[in-house]
């Protein structure tokens, strides 16, 4: 394979569908994105355009040209923010469940970035126009502590702290089943699920190293409250790792094995604590966000049920 900016060249080695082959090769895009590239004429096989279901032959030469993304203007929106801390360099938010962090995949309004643009005069520009100020992300249906940077110097420092693990992130999760161990560390490279490109999974190839430390806080028979500490920061990491050991999160629509018996919109996962060094003052900072009402109500039910047994 050779790559030149946004151009790819591949040589097929096995007979398979064109879109399936490309989805395996171009791992930083979804299969639907790849199929659209084929549909829009950005993919050729032996210099001829083909359909997604075209059957490749051994030795076929495949070329892909990914078009430059269209410029998008992100508008400031006066949306409610639960601000835990703010100064001229950083802002720390308790993100609500259901709020998307930054515009993507056709969602350009109602995000945390839209709200931050209305609240802050300045945000760091390192991540570009779509993700100004965003140092790390939370899934749409994960609530809790998040930090954003108002200037590039602060952004660089915070990103390095997260990368070097000097910034610590702890989460609360309610999972299905009774975890046997009191604590442990889950290791497993995470990448695109080869069977479902919309999901992540522990994979043998093309994954990124990922480790999650967990500690059991409370047991309720067939459910467990755990504290998870991120040792790395991969997409859906806690959700993938807990599912991998047989304990998916309550309410997880993507990785859960059964429908949740509890009223919650999304996975029962909350970013409870974040500790770091202030990028400018070098002061040690610790932030905590209270558990959201939906998770609190689930815990009350579980504790009551367990007590009455």
For residues 38 and 59, the answer to whether their CB atoms sit within 8 Å is no
> In terms of C-beta distances under 8 Å and separation of at least 24 residues, what long-range contacts does 235-238 make, across chains too?
235/190, 235/200, 236/139, 236/190, 236/199, 236/200, 237/190, 237/210, 237/212, 238/171, 238/173, 238/212, 238/269
- Strands laid side by side in the 2-4 sheet: 2-4, 7-11, 61-65, 43-45, 48-49
Asked if residues 7 and 68 have their Cβ atoms less than 8 Å apart, the reply is no
Helix H or strand E encompassing 92: strand 90-95
Are 21 and 62 a contacting pair, CB within 8 Å? yes
DSSP assignment of 24-61, as one string?
HH-TTS-HHHHHHHHHTT-EEETTEE--TT-B--TT-E
> Catalytic residue among 139, 141, 151, 252, which?
139
**255-264, long-range: CB within 8 Å, 24+ apart, which pairs?**
255/199, 256/176, 257/176, 258/176, 262/297, 262/298, 262/301, 263/294, 263/297, 264/294, 264/295, 264/298
139 catalytic per annotation:
yes
**Could you give the CA distance from residue 96 to residue 153 in angstroms, rounded to a whole number?**
27
Is residue 250 within 8 A of residue 279, CB to CB? The reply is: no
Q: What are the residue numbers of the active site? A: 139
């Amino acid at each position: 394979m050779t790559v030149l900016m946004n151009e790819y060249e591949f040589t097929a080695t096995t007979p398979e569908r064109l879109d399936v082959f490309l989805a395996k090769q171009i791992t930083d895009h979804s299969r639907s994105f790849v199929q659209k590239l084929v549909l829009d004429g950005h993919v050729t096989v032996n210099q001829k355009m083909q359909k997604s279901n075209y059957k490749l032959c051994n030795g076929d030469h495949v070329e892909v040209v990914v078009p430059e993304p269209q410029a998008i203007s992100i508008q400031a929106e006066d949306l409610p923010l639960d601000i835990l801390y703010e100064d001229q360099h950083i802002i720390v938010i308790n993100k609500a469940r259901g709020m998307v962090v930054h515009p993507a995949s056709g969602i350009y309004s109602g995000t945390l970035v839209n709200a931050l643009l209305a609240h802050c005069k300045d945000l760091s520009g390192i991540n570009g126009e779509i993700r100004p100020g965003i140092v790390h992300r939370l899934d749409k249906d994960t609530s809790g502590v998040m930090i954003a940077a108002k200037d590039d110097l602060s952004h660089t420092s915070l990103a390095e702290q997260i990368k070097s693990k000097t910034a610590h992130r702890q989460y609360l999760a309610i999972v299905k089943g009774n975890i046997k161990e009191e604590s442990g560390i889950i290791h497993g490279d995470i990448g695109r699920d080869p069977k479902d490109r919309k999901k992540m999974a522990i994979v043998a190839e093309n994954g990124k190293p990922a480790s999650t430390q967990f500690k059991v806080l409370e047991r309720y028979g067939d459910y467990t409250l755990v504290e998870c500490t991120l040792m790395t920061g991969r997409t859906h990491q806690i959700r993938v790792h807990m599912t991998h050991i047989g304990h998916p999160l309550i309410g997880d629509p993507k990785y859960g094995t059964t429908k949740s018996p509890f009223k919650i919109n999304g996975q029962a996962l909350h970013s409870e604590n974040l500790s770091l060094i202030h990028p400018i003052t070098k002061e040690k900072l610790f932030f905590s966000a209270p558990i959201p009402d939906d998770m609190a109500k689930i815990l009350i039910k579980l504790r009551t049920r367990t007590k009455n047994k």
